[in-house]
Structure 1
Amino acid sequence: MRKTWSRMVGTGLAAVLAVGLIAGCAGKTATPSPDTTKQGAAGGGKPFEGRTLTLVTANHPWGEAIKPLIPDFEAATGMKVKVESYFEDQLTQKLTVQFTSGSATPDVFMYRPLQEGKLFYKNGWVQALDDYSGKDANYDFADFSKSSIGSTTVDGKLAGIPIITEQEILYYRKDLLQQAGIAVPKTLDELTAAVKKLHDPAKEQYGFVARGQRSPLVTQVSSFLFSEGADFTNGDKAAINTPEAVKAFTTYGTLLKDFGPPGVLNMSWPQAFGVFAQGKVAFMTDANSLYSNVTDPSKSQVSDKVGFAVFPGGKAGSKPYSITSWGLAMNSKAANKDAAWEFIKWATSKDIVLKTQQKGNPGARASVWDKPEGATGFPAELVPIIKESSAVGIDHDRPVVISVSEARDAVGEIVQKVMSGDPNIQDVANKANDALQAIMDKDKTK
């Protein structure tokens, strides 16, 4: 998964989503498409002979990896799979419009569980998959990491199956640490001390970089939050003004304010990775899925000097986010749900996850990561970091609410105030907490 797929959608999309929310679960009846209601050919020996299934994907590397494999699925099942692909904002708009109208298509679709999963599920647009996932013992549902399934679970129900995962890790310059005699930081205190020691702005050498933009930073500050024993919410209450939360926000914001490169307040991941790749930064925290931006010699001046480490621990230990950034879901009005599940089961099976993971798409199956051939699409040094982060990680990286964009703005405000030098961060956090609580309360009426 690339983090670029997790960027906020524009105001136009917000309007579309608003329509979806107003419509709620409107359109309770749906006319099945002619293709998906065809009966299987008599005596054909294939369970779904003659049926057509519509799959909608994002323009994403996973979509490109799965397309060449689909003919094998079609040959085995007798099913025809019609694939449509869209850019991220177009995808969400298309799905929202079609689901609001009660459409039976697409049957299966890619979606972002932590960005729109709760909205889609609350509106009745996705089919809970709990009854399907345990039917076939060979599918081995228990093989999926706990955190990846947590990301796709809404109100205790399995709303989708993970296809792309990611964790927050620590990137560092191996050469700089070696020259200074500094060990790889294992705690946030050790990270702060190392950052201070390696910060030398007179030489255009900065200690730390991460996302500083108000909304993009929220997913990355989450690991600081969890590692201090805090979270965005506690049950149905906002919790971003607790002492642990304020400490986490202050640590992140202070690292950027005091030891970040110029312009860090306006940086999202492309800018942060860009300055690190120029050799100007000692440490960076961000998504492991973006590693090639600093290890590819065509993009990075320090490609052979980059190290990876598990996110440094705080009061609660190392608690990085470990999330499903993209999943596969079933339309609740799909005309043939057994056919839709057959595709999802195949696309997320061990064999297919192995093939898509070899193309650089980090999956959620532990058994695939344990195979040497399952790790060939990733740097050897990164693989154990991914496995350990997945084992200890938290299943979300933002407030799990319907109005995600508004919630991210509320949280991001705290960190930006730290970065701007506001001396009254507790007051800022209290106001932001009230704003997040109002958002959560409003979501209850949707």
Structure 2
Amino acid sequence: MSAMSSTWDRRSLLRAGAGLATAGALAACGGNNGRGGGGSGSSLVQYFHAYGEAGTEQAIKRYAAAYDKASVRTQWITGNNFETKLFSALLTKQAPDVFEFHPQLQLVTSGQVADLTELIAPVKDDFNQADITSHTVDGKIYGIRMIDDPQFFYYRKSLLEKAGVGVPQTLDELVEAAAKLTTGKVKGLFLGNDITAVQYPLIWSAGADTLDSSNQIAYHTDGVISGLRTLRSLFTSGHLLLDAPADYWDPSALDQGLCAIQWGGMWSMPVMQKALGDDLGIFPFPKIGSAGRLSVYNGGWSMFVNAKGKNVDAAKEYVKWLWIDQKKYQEDWATSYGFHIPPRASIAQSATKLKSELPEQGVQLFNTYGHFDNIHWTQAMITAFNDVLANSVRKNGSPEAALDACDKKVNRELKKLQG
């Protein structure tokens, strides 16, 4: 598990790390290359972060080797700074032709990513339409979703039953449950080491959003303020697991008995099921206040073509081949190395590994309560709201003051984006 933990760290850092403007020299990435079969066409380079699930690196290289129209070399970026290496590389002549990341408006406005609308058009209706929306700017689609990663709470059924605790439906009930479930060295709840993993569910479960339909601030509400105060009380209660050996992306906190309830991603489900069997249950982030509603955060990864690369057309052809045409590989990538939901409806419906009780429940939570990334919510905005959690939950600052400071940063960013 320690080997897994060292690579899973990318999950939290990529969503809340340094901004897109980070530059500098690209560190060497070693000799982890996978070449295509034919070799007679173009030579392409694709960037992937080092997934924690065993077999992922071998799988992506196996797919590339099956492509016979170009030689495809895979840079499998280890360490905790994939984002830094990627965006540094994009400023150099060694920039990748194809890379995975999340939908970000700056990639589009800077002309960094290619328009893939024509590639997706024939199968657009087969994609989860929320994934299409999250990659669309001015009617054009940038990026192809590879996997959807819902996040929710995992819990030990036996521990809740022993403590006489029901599945929490409100944040207040979750706090009460954490208190009853804390016994000896076992804490009631784990939200991740810096708590930023639940910042979006906190907003959505309070009935708010990051930005509204006009791309204006929508998170600064009484419900969010109430939720921040509740998290602060939980943080100081002694019932929250803090400074765990591995963060929320790793299943070890629950599997090793450090807590009774843990926030995590669907990718961890097979490992958790192996460790806990039928004692494992899941539930969405609970409601906050009278306007609240249950919520599930949908993370995930998407494939982009570098519009400033030397082989744009060849890169598009490869991306179409792998992430549009090769359904077998797409299902393998989504379900054979941890559980993820295929963005293509036809593949999701035929994915037998997601049909058993618990993964099927995860898919249902995703379909019912899922929220997706907003392409207009930029890395700078993500960092600004990270600071809200730091100042009003981990520190004893005023939630109102923290949100006011966040508003200034977000509004500055919105003005830049809107010209």
Same fold (TM over 0.5): yes
**Paired amino acid for 2:334:** Q
Counterpart contact for 1:239–1:433, Cα < 8 Å: no
**Partners of 1:120 and 1:397 in 2: CA distance:** 13
Equivalent of 2:229 in 247, 250, 258: 250
State whether structure 2 residue 320 is matched by structure 1 residue 320: no
Q: Do the aligned partners of residues 303 and 404 (structure 1) sit closer, same or farther apart at CA in structure 2, a change above 3 Å counting?
A: farther
How far the C-alpha of 1:386 sits from its partner, in A, is: 2.8
1:370 matched residue in structure 2: 349
The aligned residue for residue 96 of structure 1 is 87
Counterpart of 1:195, as a letter, is A
Check if 1:333 corresponds to 2:338: no
Q: Are 1:208 and 2:189 an aligned pair?
A: yes
Matched, 1:65 2:65: no
TM-score, reference length from structure 2: 0.78
Aligned-partner Cα distance in 1 for 2:89–2:259: 46
How far 1:330 moved relative to its partner? Answer: 0.7
Does the 8 Å CA contact 2:50/2:77 hold for their aligned counterparts? yes
- Aligned partner of 1:148 among 124, 131, 139: 131
Write the distance in 1 (CA, Å) between the matches of 2:314 and 2:134: 24
288-297 vs 171-180, greater mean Cα deviation: 288-297
CA distance in 2, matches of 1:308, 1:9: 25
Aligned to 1:23: none
Residue range with higher mean Cα deviation, 398-407 or 355-364: 398-407
Alpha-carbon distance change, 322 to 441 in structure 1, aligned in 2, over 3 angstroms: same
The verdict on how the C-alpha distance between 1:98 and 1:18 changes in structure 2, with shifts beyond 3 A counting, is closer
- Equivalent residue pairs, number: 392
**Contact 1:109–1:328, Cα closer than 8 Å, also in 2:** yes
SS at match of 1:386: helix
Shift of 1:163: 1.4
SS at match of 1:81: strand
Task: Give the 3-state SS of the residue equivalent to 2:168 in structure 1.
Answer: coil
SS in 1 for 2:75: strand
1:4 corresponds in structure 2 to: 9
* Deviations 1:238-264, CA, capped at 9 Å, x for gaps: 344321221232333333332534645
Q: Which residue of 1 aligns with 2:279?
A: 305
Q: Aligned with 1:229: secondary structure?
A: coil
Among candidates 45, 65, 69, match of residue 54 of structure 1: 45
Native 8 Å contact 1:3 1:290 kept in 2: no
Is 1:277 aligned with 2:255?
A: yes
Matched with 1:178 is 161
Kept in 2, the 8 Å contact 1:199–1:259? The answer is no
Displacement of 1:143 after TM fit?
A: 2.4
For residue 86 of structure 1, what is the aligned residue in structure 2? 77
**Equivalent position amino acid for 1:122 in 2:** T
The structure-2 alpha-carbon separation of the partners of 1:399 and 1:130, relative to structure 1 and needing over 3 Å to count, comes to closer
The 3-state SS of whatever aligns with 1:170 is: strand
User: Percent identical across equivalent pairs?
Assistant: 21
C-alpha change, 1:240 and 1:81, in structure 2 (3 Å) is: same
- Map Cα deviations across residues 408-434 of structure 1 (whole Å, 9 max, x no partner): 4333234xx235455x43333333333
Q: Is the 8 A contact 2:101 2:303 kept in 1?
A: yes
Q: Quick one: distance in 2 between partners of 1:360 and 1:9?
A: 20
CA drift of 1:133 comes to: 1.0
Which of the pair has more CA radius of gyration?
Answer: 1
On the 8 A contact 1:121/1:159 being kept in 2, the answer is yes
1:190-228 Cα deviation digits (max 9, x unpaired)? 4344334x2444x33432221242xxx334221121021
SS in 2 for 1:407: helix
Specify whether residues 175 and 223 from structure 1 end up closer, same or farther in structure 2 by C-alpha distance, changes over 3 A only: same
Partner letter of residue 429 of structure 1? Answer: L
Following superposition, the deviation at residue 365 of structure 1 comes to: 2.4
CA distance in 2, matches of 1:185, 1:406: 29
**Could you tell me whether the CA contact under 8 Å between 2:19 and 2:379 is conserved in 1?**
no
Secondary structure in structure 2 of the residue aligned to 1:83:
strand
Give the TM-score taking structure 1 as reference length: 0.74
